[in-house]
Amino acid sequence: MDAARLHEYTEDMSSALSIDEVDEPQITRSNGVVIEVDGAGWCQTDNHVIEGMWEQYMPQDLPMTLGHENAGTVVEVGEEVTTVSEGDQVICHPVVPCGKCRPCRQGEDMYCENVEFPGLSRDGGFAEQLLTGERSVIPLPDGVDPAEIAPHADAGITAYHAVKKAVRELVPGDYAVVVGVGGLGHIGLQCLDAMSAAKVVALDVKEEARSLAEDLGAAHTFDPSSDDVAAELESLTDGRMAPQVLDFVGADSTLSMAPDIVSAGGDHHVIGYGGHVHEPAQALVNGEFSFKGTLVGQYTELQELVALVESGEVELRTSRYSLDEVNDVAEALEHGEIEGRAVIVP
């Protein structure tokens, strides 16, 4: 079968992956599941993997097939699998947990002590078929297109996981800030609008992204490259600022906004990444705010997100590409030219 594989780390996205002929995956465990990939979302993390940013956090044996946002049709199951059958359409939680360690038994899939991460630690879904496990597949409701929903496997669940934490601290009358209305941010904004009574303020340097934010329910939008966001937020909130900020960019410039826009006792959720937190300790003490990281989410949260999608509360803006266009997608995303989410259709 054909697969898009990374042979060496590089910053040149134009030829980052090669299309190789590889063997179809084989089930080696009784709970294994093989899916025919109908859609695999391209994520900024894929670009970071190509650049080698994940090597120190997750061992990688190159060459490796990328792709960690996967959905498709079950073509083979292990002898103990009972929750899905051949022909079922599923979305895949991005990791394959062991199910036996303490974090797994607490439902914390991302903290699994024996975690396998297709597309980051072993072969992923930029291929015709993908090997996953029964604990990682969620059957899709009738009428849901696997290729359309695939990016929710990581982008969606990550945004939802962060919003779920934030809405616990929001009450009617509050303002919540969404930083970056791109592939993750446009999902997070919809989740925030559906799950809380807070007014949403969206920040993005691109006019089309701000227009999208308004279409998706944002009460106010600002351009942080030209607007005085802190002053605008102070005026809107009578000086109370935003108790919850969801940063889907995670650049130095967006992380540095926290002391000026987060309410006392509030949280700046770091969802996008690539930048650094460079705040003096006194800034955190004076404001008593927190930076909170977000690492994807739980299997049950992906189920909850699928329910939001089925009910029409959350939709994806996607564009589709063939497997041999993977490097074009990588380049386009590197230059900020992808609106919403790109989906590879092998």
Other C-beta atoms lying within 10 Å of the C-beta of residue 111: 16
One-letter identity of residue 200:
V
Q: What phi, psi does 165 have (nearest 5°)? A: -70, -40
For the stretch 64-97, pLDDT in tens is 999 999 999 999 999 999 999 999 999 999 999 9
What pTM was estimated for this model as a whole? 0.94
Q: How far apart are CA 60 and CA 51, in angstroms?
A: 13
Give the per-residue pLDDT at 223.
Answer: 98
Q: Each residue of 15-53: pLDDT tens digit? A: 999 999 999 999 999 999 999 999 999 999 999 999 999
Instruction: Name residue 115's amino acid.
Output: V
- State the Rg of the chain over Cα: 20
Could you give the domains of the chain?
2-154+296-345 (3.90.180.10), 157-293 (3.40.50.720)
Please state the rounded mean pLDDT for residues 293-303.
95
DSSP state of 62: S
Question: What three-state secondary structure class fits 321?
Answer: strand
Residue 264 in contact with residue 77, Cβ under 8 Å? no
For residue 162, pLDDT over 90 is answered with yes
Q: What is the predicted pLDDT for the residue at 62?
A: 97
What tokens were used for 27? Answer: 């089930």
